Chain A
Amino acid sequence: MTADDRLDRRAFLKLTGGAATTAALAGCSGTGGSEGEGGGSTEASTDSGGESTEMSTETSESGGSESTGDFPVTIVQGNMPSGLDPHDHRETPTDVVMLHAYEGVLTRTADGTITEALATGYERVDGENTVTFTIREDVPFHNGDTLTPDDVAYSINRIVQEDVGFASPQRDQLAGVTGAEATDETTVTVQNDGLNPIVFSEFATYCDVMQQSWVEERSKAEVGQQMNGTGPFQLESYTEDEEVVFTPFENYWGDAVEVTELTFRAASEAGTRVNQLLQGEADVIVNVPPQEVQRVNDNSGTRIAAAPSTRIIYNAMRYDVEPFSSQQFRQAMNYAVDLNSIVENVLGGFGSPTGQPTLESFVGHNPDVEPYPYDPDEAERLVEESGHAGVEIELNTPVGRYLKDLEIAQAVAGFIDELPNVSATVRQRDFGSLVDELLTGNIEDKPPWYLIGWGEATFDGGLVMTALLTSDGALSSWSNEEFDSLLADAGDQSGDTREATLQEANALAHDQAPWVFLNRQYSVYGVSERVAWEPRSDERIDASAMTPQ
């Protein structure tokens, strides 16, 4: 019995050791097979290619100071791109990756001004609802073929016409555009459903140009795994969820770039990104939280670079429920909040106060409208006048969606709660469920008072106000006939007339106070000292503008 027992135990120990080894081996050998099965041949080959590239990158990075002409850059964002099809996404992190390989007909300079890219000219056709683009000649795609106006027209149609490609989530980013065709060897004519005053603004921000034949020869999945654009960088390797590597495109039509290898990675934790920067594993990281700014600045090889973004943060108040139905009460809420203090103390200076829905440098911004001053006495008086003294209100806020969103909400509610005749609290919400309520289309489903943010990469105040404040805007909880008619007028105007109408709408919004106006959010980046680069308002991280320093 004892002998048997001992034998069994020994056998057991051997077996366990054997099982562990087998499991380890199975884990290793299983990999190659499963990757091949799941992703198809493309993925498998990219994977192994990616690995060997990474190994060599690692060596060159750990070498520290680069020899002349070697300037690799690694950018770490919060998320990896959701795929490589430039027409099948709707997020900034994906856009930032795309813009290195794909280009549009128009683009923007760092200060937001519209400028030519693949087009050398653009104009409205008088008396018709069309615009034309003159397409640059002798522009090569990464596969060596030359860009044609047909490719441009196809790309526009792939976005706005479902039967050309698929249901592109970008269709309404080219709002008003109905289709395009190549009308001669260098011209593309774009049809609109009306005057479409913002059409060039839209094309300067959206519509990456792809090659028609390249797309048509590939399955949808392949288009999402490979790239063939006209941009300054071409795809070297793509490992889904892990990294995208670019090398400079030697035949690029524009100025040559200085970055010799461009790598995109992702880390969802802000702390992880900061550590990667400090350790030299990343050269540019996004969204450095204010409490980490000191660490980045104190480190010898890194700095903080910040720029005002296109995102506005505000507290919407429903116009149809008490006490927010009273204009005096809404104004009182604005007077009660010390916005400068929030920008200084909560956001560490990375923000600027607002007093109207349209941000500075946007079309329609009214320079004569100032943010509400901090005046608690006036606030108290207005609350009394509104007849809602003694009311209790609750601010719904998402947590972790915007820079310091919860802290901003707590400060706002804190200031309002200091009024002797109003008490305010904060209710933390999951962003997904809050947005669900905001999007049902029924104003009754929305919370009476909520914090939300809005980014508008087109720099157009008309789009912001239509979506957020007109009676049937996608995210509106306000209704005002005069405001609606101003925005409707702006839709049929262009140039200075439109600008003046939008400025009037901004002044009206300030006085009516449908929101507690809060801050313009800043994009805060951590940057390695070896890279010279200035951040932009439109959140584009453009590696072709990076140089060694």
Chain B
Amino acid sequence: MSLARFLVKRALQGVLVVWGVVTVVFGLRFISPGDPANVLLPPDVDPQVRQQVIAELGLNKPLHVQYFEFVAGIPVGDLGLSLVTRTPVTGRVLSKVPATLELAIAATVVAVVIAIPLGVVSATRRHEPADYGATLFSLLGISTPNFWLGVMLIIVLAVQLDLFPTSQRPIGLDGVFGLLVAGQVGNAVDGLLAWAWHITLPAVTLGTYFTALITRLTRSGMLDELGKTYVRAARAKGLPETLTRYRHALRNTLIPVITVVGLQLGTLIGGAVITEAVFAWPGLGTLIINSINARDWPVLQGSLIIVAVGFVLVNILVDTLYAYVNPQVAFD
């Protein structure tokens, strides 16, 4: 199958997946307890006022009409109006994407920077103290709940030692970029520092599980590669050990690792919910939590659709590259 056909096929599958997400979320809306009107209005509201508000929000229309209206809006980017603020959902959700993307990418950077060297050391010094240390670190990282780690980091590093702020995102990378374009280089540098200072704790919190995962993956991949014939051949040829390890074995190890990193990026975008709530980070996660509390279904649906689209795109990208690089995996 050609690349073009593969892409078309995956794009169509992606559309189906997003449609499925929309339908499931819409279905959940009608089986979940809590009428949005009862959350928006206190119990003592005059029943007539309640009816008027319900009509104004369009909540009195039949289910299938609400569903088709919602689905029909998606291709033109219209995700409806928020029940709480009555503002368009599309703009509101998209404005939260950069914050979450920044967090996911920063967490990935934290993970990759720590995990790959750690995994390599662990594999090359197998059964030595360094390996045991790395293993212990991975175990702790995998078994520590995100929210607990976040709260602990805040209490120790922010409140006790006063090294980092506990919350907020004073400026985004887009803001830094804007300052740079406007020629305010000094402010842009200050902005970048403020950004890095604020994102460190959330990124470490979100990235810890991921770090542990990649450490283990790099370790086992590296051990696999080091035991293969070509490594032994290279050694037999008399190639320096460093060259064998890092130019040959590590490079082969990184292929599956990078695939996992790509796929996990999607998970991180979705999994940032708890971390964002702990750090009051103004991204999709915080928006999702707040819209669940407020039963603001259009905003919740919009956020989940964006997460689903992001997930699908990352998957297609990773699959395409993987198939392209490895002829054993055909485009099918």
Query: What residues of chain A have their CB less than 8 Å away from a CB belonging to chain B?
Result: 4, 8-9, 11-13, 15-16, 19-20, 23-24, 27-32, 34-35, 37-40, 43, 47-48, 51, 54-55, 58, 79-80, 82-83, 88, 90, 162, 166-169, 171-172, 175, 220-221, 224-225, 240-242, 265-269, 271-272, 275-276, 278-279, 281, 430-433, 435-436, 438-439, 441, 467, 474-475
Contact = CB atoms under 8 A, between A and B. Distances in A.
Interface stretch (B21-29, B218-226, B234-242, B250-258): B250-258
B17 interface: no
Contact of B90 (A37, A55, A475): A37
A221 B165 contact: no
Contacts of B327: 4, 8
A40 B92 CA distance: 11
B130 interface: no
Nearest to A162: B52
Contact of B85 (A224, A271, A272): A224
Contact of B280 (A23, A55, A168, A276): A276
B170 A58 contact: yes
Contact of A34 (B41, B95, B159, B317): B95
6 closest Cβ pairs, A-B complex:
A38-B91, A432-B34, A433-B33, A12-B325, A167-B52, A34-B94
Interface stretch (B3-11, B96-104, B136-144): B96-104
Nearest to B91: A38
A37 B47 CA distance: 37
B191 interface: yes
A55 B170 contact: yes
Given A39-B91, A51-B175, A82-B85, A9 B49 contact: no
B206 to A, nearest CB: 15
Given A11-B325, A15-B321, A475-B43, A39 B155 contact: no
B166 interface: yes
A268 B293 contact: yes
Contacts of B91: 34-35, 37-40, 43
Given A265-B280, A268-B277, A279-B159, A27 B105 contact: yes
B194 A9 contact: no
Contacts of B167: 267, 272, 275-276, 281
B231 interface: no
B33 A8 contact: no
A115 B210 CA distance: 59
8 contacts: A16-B321, A28-B98, A39-B87, A167-B49, A240-B85, A269-B277, A281-B168, A432-B34
A83 B46 contact: no
A79 B290 contact: yes
Given A272-B277, A432-B38, A12 B98 contact: no
Contacts of B59: none
A24 B105 contact: yes
Contacts of B92: 38-39, 240-241
Interface centre among A88, A240, A241, A435 (most CB of B within 10 A): A241
A39 B95 contact: yes
Nearest to A433: B33
Contacts of A265: 168, 280
Interface in B152-184: 154-155, 158-159, 162, 165-168, 170-175, 177-178
A83 B84 CA distance: 8
B86 A221 contact: yes
Given A16-B321, A28-B177, A58-B170, A83 B94 contact: no
Nearest to A92: B42
A39 B88 contact: yes
Contact of B166 (A8, A175, A276): A276
Contacts of A43: 91, 95
A166 to B, nearest CB: 7
Interface residues of B, number: 83
B35 interface: yes
A272 B166 contact: yes
Contacts of A268: 277, 286, 289-290, 293
A54 B87 contact: no
Nearest to B168: A281
Nearest to A278: B159
B36 to A, nearest CB: 9
A278 B151 CA distance: 13
B113 to A, nearest CB: 13
Nearest to A35: B95
Contact of B173 (A11, A28, A271): A28
Contact of B325 (A9, A31, A224, A474): A9
Contacts of B95: 31, 34-35, 38-39, 43, 47
B278 interface: yes
Contact of B94 (A38, A224, A242): A38
B214 to A, nearest CB: 14
Contacts of B289: 268
Contacts of B88: 38-39
Contacts of A8: 324-327
B223 to A, nearest CB: 19
Contacts of B311: none
B189 interface: no
Nearest to A467: B44
Given A12-B324, A171-B49, A224 B280 contact: no
Nearest to B35: A436
B180 to A, nearest CB: 10
B230 to A, nearest CB: 9
B196 interface: no
A27 B97 contact: yes
B123 interface: no
A475 B42 CA distance: 11
B262 interface: yes
A459 B172 CA distance: 45
Interface string B104-135: 01000000000000000000000000000000
A90 B33 contact: no
Contacts of B43: 435, 438-439, 467, 474-475
Given A90-B40, A241-B287, A430-B33, A13 B254 contact: yes
B38 A90 contact: no
Interface centre among A16, A43, A266, A438 (most CB of B within 10 A): A16
Interface centre among A172, A221, A266 (most CB of B within 10 A): A172
Interface string B60-87: 0000000000000000010000001111
Given A162-B52, A172-B44, A172-B46, A9 B85 contact: no
A492 B320 CA distance: 77
A242 B97 contact: no
Contacts of A224: 85-87
A54 B321 contact: no
B56 interface: yes
A279 B162 contact: yes
Nearest to B291: A241
A224 B42 CA distance: 20
B38 A269 contact: no
Nearest to B90: A38
Contact of B282 (A55, A172, A241, A271): A241
Contacts of A168: 49
A31 B97 contact: yes
Given A35-B94, A55-B191, A240-B87, A172 B49 contact: yes
A436 to B, nearest CB: 6
A83 B34 contact: no
A436 B85 CA distance: 22
Contact of A16 (B178, B262, B293): B262
Interface in B282-299: 282, 286-287, 289-290, 293-295
Given A9-B252, A19-B321, A27 B102 contact: yes
Contacts of B32: 432
B45 interface: yes
Contacts of A278: 159
A30 B154 CA distance: 31
B96 to A, nearest CB: 7
